[in-house]
Amino acid sequence: MAQPVPPLPPAPQKNGFGIAALVLAIIALVFSWIPFIGFVLSALAIVFGALAVRRAHVKIAGNKVMSYFGLALGVVAFVISIVAFASVMSTTSTSTAPPALESGAEVTNHAFGGTATWSGGEQIRVSEPQPVSSENPYLGPADGKRWVAVDVTVTNGGTGSHDVVSTAFTAQHSGRVAQEAYMSDQNDALPQTALAPGQSVSFTKVFEIESSPGDLQLSVKPNAFASTTAYFNGAA
């Protein structure tokens, strides 16, 4: 009499989490140098990879090697994303620092209403700061802040063309960074114009400063590559 054949054990289910983890990890590696995208994709790869490894260990799914591989790649992509984010933050912090902090930079100091001149012949005059109000309360300065405006006149005293849009500004008030008030309708964008020798152009810049009086310092360079930074100082 033939002996009954015992039923075969059920084959482990395919581990969809492992496949998802591996695919997400590979995409995360490709985009890992884009901080936000790489961070999200690698985090998802780690989560799916961990679930896949757990399912494989309790033998309710297979693809154990793929699960571990997806989890490992997800961790690598996550680390690269953190490094990329730190690099971007460091670059941003450096780029927003006042030009006077740059190594080897030369500095000239002026009172508001004065004119700074560079070796290339560029001349920049900054007027006394004046208070600015907003008719729309929803577009006005933040609580504890106020707006002040300065008129800037750029003159090309050189022999070649000068591109005004390359003019660089930073501002501080009472030892704190003052942001440009882009929401003010009196704040002008940098003119998209090139000045011929002897030509001038004027525009208004509005900055958001502390509500209490203090020292306002505006740094100006005719372009990002100028070795000299002009500082205009005064009370505001």
What tens digit of pLDDT does each residue of 178-210 get? 999 888 889 998 888 899 999 999 999 999 999
* Residue 155 clears pLDDT 60, i.e. is over it: yes
Over residues 95-107, the mean pLDDT reads 54
Q: Check if the beta carbon of residue 166 is closer than 8 Å to that of residue 141.
A: no
Q: Are residues 62 and 178 in the same domain?
A: no
Neighbouring C-alpha atoms within 13 Å toward the C-beta of 194: 5
Q: Are residues 182 and 84 in the same domain?
A: no
pLDDT score of 60 = 72
Q: Six-digit token pair at 193?
A: 């114009």
Between 43 and 121, where is the model more confident? 121
In a domain, 2, yes or no: no
Residue 143, classified by CB atoms within 10 Å of its CB into exposed (0-12), middle (13-18) or buried (19+), is: exposed
pLDDT score of 84 = 73
- Residue type (1 letter), 95: S
Q: Are residues 67 and 132 in the same domain?
A: no
Contacts with 168 (C-beta within 8 Å, 6 or more apart), sequence order? 99, 220, 221, 223, 224
Greatest alpha-carbon pair distance for the chain in Å reads 114
Q: Are residues 50 and 91 in the same domain?
A: yes
Which of 65, 68, 23 lies closest to 44 in space, CA to CA?
23
User: Domain range holding 40?
Assistant: 16-95
* Residue 4 clears pLDDT 90, i.e. is over it: no
Helices 35-57, 64-95: inter-axial angle, 10-degree rounding? 160
For residue 224, the SS3 value is coil
Give the Cα separation of 148 and 129 in Å (integer).
Answer: 6
Q: Which range has the worst mean pLDDT, 32-46, 101-115, 150-164?
A: 32-46
Q: Are residues 220 and 109 in the same domain?
A: yes
Contacts with 211 (C-beta within 8 Å, 6 or more apart), sequence order? 144, 145, 146
CA distances 65 to 7, 15, 56, 69, 75, Å, are 27, 11, 9, 6, 15
Q: Are residues 79 and 31 in the same domain?
A: yes
